[in-house]
Amino acid sequence: MIIYFSGINGGAGMAGVTLGEKRGSRGSRGQGVSKKAVSGVVIMNAIFAAIAYSLMSPEYVDSNMLVLFQTLTIPVLISSRIPQILKIHTEKSTGQLAAFTVFNYFLGSLARVYTTAVEIQNRVVLMGFVLSFAANAILAFQMLYYWNSTSRKSKDKML
């Protein structure tokens, strides 16, 4: 699939999408996406839609299974932060970690805990968000604590 926009001397242009080759366009080496690849994307979208419908339908997923799925997200949320927390602790530096991102995660998870506690009253979901907030709070604390420090690897290279 090739998405193109062509205009002549800054005038009105023509936009479009083609399947296969578009001859004579700059930057395109005459290669397009095959119909087989497009049909694969369509099939994957259909499978995704069927799974999403099944998970949202009370016929297929009862409340007990929904609680199980919500509970299973908690280890995923925590396990995604633990390696980063340990690496920062080991290296005594945040390295290339962006402070803007860390503090946005921290404030966002705090807001999520508040809105969940006030509006939803679901203990399982709330517990997941509280644990996520705790992990983000640790990262934010580490960001402040190791703000101007250099990593051990940088110190070793200097010696």
Domain coordinates in residue numbering, the chain: 2-53, 62-158
Distance, in Å, from the CA atom of 134 to the CA atom of 141, rounded to the nearest integer, reads 10
Predicted TM-score (pTM) of the model is: 0.60
* β-bridge mates for residue 18, sequence order: 2
Higher pLDDT, 15 or 73: 73
Inter-residue contact 39 to 55 (CB < 8 Å): no
Give the torsion through C-alpha atoms of 39, 40, 41, 42, to 10 deg: 50
What is residue 80's predicted lDDT score, i.e. its pLDDT? 87
Q: Which whole number is the average pLDDT over 78-102?
A: 90
Q: CA 3, CA 17: separation in Å to the nearest integer?
A: 5
User: What are the start-end ranges of the H helices in the chain?
Assistant: 35-56, 63-91, 99-115, 123-145, 152-158
For the residues 61-83, what does the mean pLDDT come to?
87
Q: Which CATH architecture has domain 62-158?
A: Up-down Bundle (1.20)
* Separation CA 118–CA 110 (nearest Å): 12
| pLDDT over 60 at 48, yes or no | yes
pLDDT over 90 for what percent of the chain? 37
